Chains A and B, each alone.
Chain A
């Protein structure tokens, strides 16, 4: 794991991997993201962006999930090489 500063998940490119640091969203979105597995230390991989550039598809805990930029920008991750 790299020790650089955490970046928003929305900054990762397709093919990049990351490790969740923190969910910054508040309210119901926060709870939903936690339930879907965005827990400290969980590995994820960005699969692709939708044809129009948003939302993004990622793999977390072995399943595929899509998130809008609005949501992925609230999740801080460490890029994993």
Chain B
């Protein structure tokens, strides 16, 4: 026998810690259907029963305005939920009880957890649990979630309730006073005319939402055959209540709920000490007028270096490990299609996926840490003014900055932004921020065509261009996609708390594995497709393969020194690959597509080889750093500089043979910056924005914007007299 328990509570009430304590590591993370709100579920066994626990998103109310609230309200009303467990923050009882007044209306048994009682005691708040039980009409278990105190008692209670052995639940609801209760009863009568409406949720709960003027409730009623009668009664109720009680329904109901909560708290809890809390002392420093920003930037720098400097070490191991594996396989297996699929397709594809995992796990760990301590809200508080000017939210700052390391975890980091509008805009503009992979392309190109000083300027310029465009696009998308005013910034600054290491580790693990399973397949499929396009039909040409083998044997037969032999073999391999790639489907595509890019990469019609850039850029869809290695293959010149030379053979080839001028090289850089996010980013956008549509939109606007700006670069540069 099993039973489903919904875990409901305010944000920052320690709900997730409690969920972890109840279910251990046995849980499943996914999204709620149709929205990118995380759904965590797990189970535990007690007295031979299996109890399913679903952790709802933390909400202050069930008014069903935000996606979080809608998910919570819908799930709580569904027949699947048999028991509601309401987590209350003991040191912030009154506001936490506002949600409870709504949960009590659902007509389901509600049990309460009085969490973090230790914090409350430290602040001098003593709570009479027995009195609270009586007033709430349900069992109350005091807990300290992060130390697992009270968890065994809670499990025992839940099992008893599941077996129907606990009779501690009485139905208690807020008394809204004679006038409102009268109108509620009238509305209920009208609602009960429609049996379907009556069955979907308690009529009184729907009536309350109607009086609160809830758009969601009105939509529900509009679908009913009794909608006319209900709307008429609602209009009558409004006409009666507003002049009579001096305020609109929403205000009156909120007042009564808070009246209930306030009275209850006065009855069961002692007042908090007036002395300064540790949080207040910390905030005196962390959100200080002058020190707040420098401290924030310092923390940001630390997170950045942990993720992208320390994180680069395991990343390099992984990349080198896979490179060694592919070299090993390439050397042992006979040259041919299958070997190429393995060596140039599958292994680099898997590598391209796994290489992200260390960075994702470290950055997500850091962000979870900042979030769990309560600092994330302060970071948003500090940066909001600046970000608001850009049409974004204070919490958008961290993803944008982290984007300059790697866009993939940066987009994942946007999860911390509650408002779906702000989150979507942040996700859509983050790919414009130049990442470390694009930096590698810029270094090669700028190093080829500019003096070291100008090259540095050009590279820094690209980073600022990316950030500037992110801001500009943020503003444009906001006004184009969401016509209304920006979402309200009403953000709690929760008390600072020491996070539980276990929770942070679980979080890191979840983020890493979700990436591997969800984004990994997309990246892998894309990498294989690009392999196919850039290798066929040449790879299947047996004559070429045979020639290549003969040439290798000829070199090996020369009995040269080991170093010399290796150099010659490498040159042969490069020539062979170059022959395949330059006749591949991608090359044909490049030749077809090059007229499209001709105005930016070949404005004077003097570059018969401009199509080679197109192949490199196509390969860049997989990952931006591949642009460089693909160029090396196409131009048949290694991208590793020889000892004592400033330019690599690839750079020399680009300078002497590619026909790019400093101006078109700059246009190439601008285009590379913007034209499309890499596959990892695209997969992450799809996951985090919730549809392929947004991922496609990002590619499309990137291509258009990249083309436009590269074209402006060329036209403006020529007007200013540059070549």
- A residues at B contact (CB < 8 Å): 23, 28-37, 39-40, 42, 48-55, 57, 61-68, 70-71
Contacts and interface: CB of A to CB of B under 8 A. Distances in A.
A24 to B, nearest CB: 11
Interface residues of B, number: 40
Interface in B258-317: 258, 272, 279, 287-290, 292-293
B254 A34 contact: yes
B492 A34 contact: no
B95 interface: yes
A53 B292 CA distance: 12
A43 to B, nearest CB: 12
Contacts of A31: 61, 63, 65, 212-213, 250
Contacts of A23: 251
Given A35-B63, A40-B255, A68 B489 contact: yes
B258 A37 contact: yes
Nearest to B488: A29
Contact of B388 (A35, A67, A68): A68
Given A35-B254, A57-B287, A63-B492, A50 B63 contact: no
Interface of B: 60-61, 63, 65, 92, 94-95, 98, 212-213, 247, 250-251, 254-255, 258, 272, 279, 287-290, 292-293, 377, 381-382, 384-386, 388, 485, 488-495
Contact of A52 (B98, B251, B254, B385): B385
**Chain A interface main SS type:** mixed
B65 A53 contact: no
Nearest to B102: A35
Contact of B65 (A32, A40, A55): A32
A39 B490 contact: no
Contacts of A36: 60, 95, 490
B490 A57 contact: no
A34 to B, nearest CB: 4
Nearest 8 CB-CB pairings of A with B? A52-B385, A34-B254, A64-B493, A68-B489, A29-B488, A51-B292, A35-B61, A54-B385
A61 B94 contact: yes
Given A57-B381, A68-B388, A71-B488, A51 B290 contact: yes
A23 B488 CA distance: 14
B95 A61 contact: yes
Contacts of B60: 32, 35-36
A57 to B, nearest CB: 6
A51 B94 contact: no
Given A48-B287, A50-B382, A61-B94, A55 B489 contact: yes
A59 to B, nearest CB: 10
Which of B63, B92, B95, B494 has the most CB atoms of chain A within a 10 A radius of its CB?
B95
28 contacts: A29-B490, A32-B490, A34-B251, A37-B98, A37-B258, A39-B255, A39-B258, A40-B247, A40-B255, A48-B287, A50-B381, A51-B290, A51-B292, A54-B384, A61-B95, A61-B258, A62-B92, A63-B92, A64-B279, A64-B493, A64-B495, A65-B491, A65-B493, A66-B381, A67-B490, A70-B485, A71-B489, A71-B490
B488 A28 contact: yes
Contacts of B255: 39-40
A53 B290 CA distance: 11
Contacts of B212: 31
Contacts of B258: 37, 39, 42, 61
Nearest to B61: A35
Nearest to A36: B490
Contacts of A53: 385
A70 B385 CA distance: 11
Given A30-B250, A65-B490, A71-B490, A55 B95 contact: no
Contacts of B377: 66
Contacts of A65: 490-493
Contacts of B65: 28, 31-32
Given A57-B287, A62-B272, A52 B386 contact: yes
B489 A64 contact: no
A51 B94 CA distance: 30
Which of A35, A61, A66 has the most CB atoms of chain B within a 10 A radius of its CB?
A35
B251 A55 contact: no
A25 B469 CA distance: 33
A66 B491 contact: yes
Contacts of B289: 48-49, 51
A55 B63 contact: no
A53 to B, nearest CB: 6
A39 B621 CA distance: 54
A50 B289 CA distance: 7
A49 B288 CA distance: 9
A30 B253 CA distance: 13
B125 to A, nearest CB: 9
B95 A50 contact: no
B531 to A, nearest CB: 49
B381 A55 contact: yes
A53 B490 CA distance: 16
A59 B212 CA distance: 26
Given A62-B92, A65-B493, A71-B488, A35 B98 contact: yes
Nearest to B377: A66
Nearest to B271: A62
Contacts of A68: 384, 388, 488-489
Contacts of A37: 94-95, 98, 258
Contacts of B250: 30-31, 34
Contacts of B287: 48, 50-51, 57
Given A30-B250, A31-B212, A51-B290, 9 more contacts: A31-B65, A36-B95, A51-B293, A53-B385, A57-B287, A62-B92, A63-B494, A65-B493, A66-B381
A49 B98 CA distance: 27
A39 B381 CA distance: 24
Which of A49, A50, A54, A71 has the most CB atoms of chain B within a 10 A radius of its CB?
A50
Contacts of B489: 55, 66-68, 70-71
B290 to A, nearest CB: 7
A17 B377 CA distance: 23
B418 to A, nearest CB: 11
A42 to B, nearest CB: 8
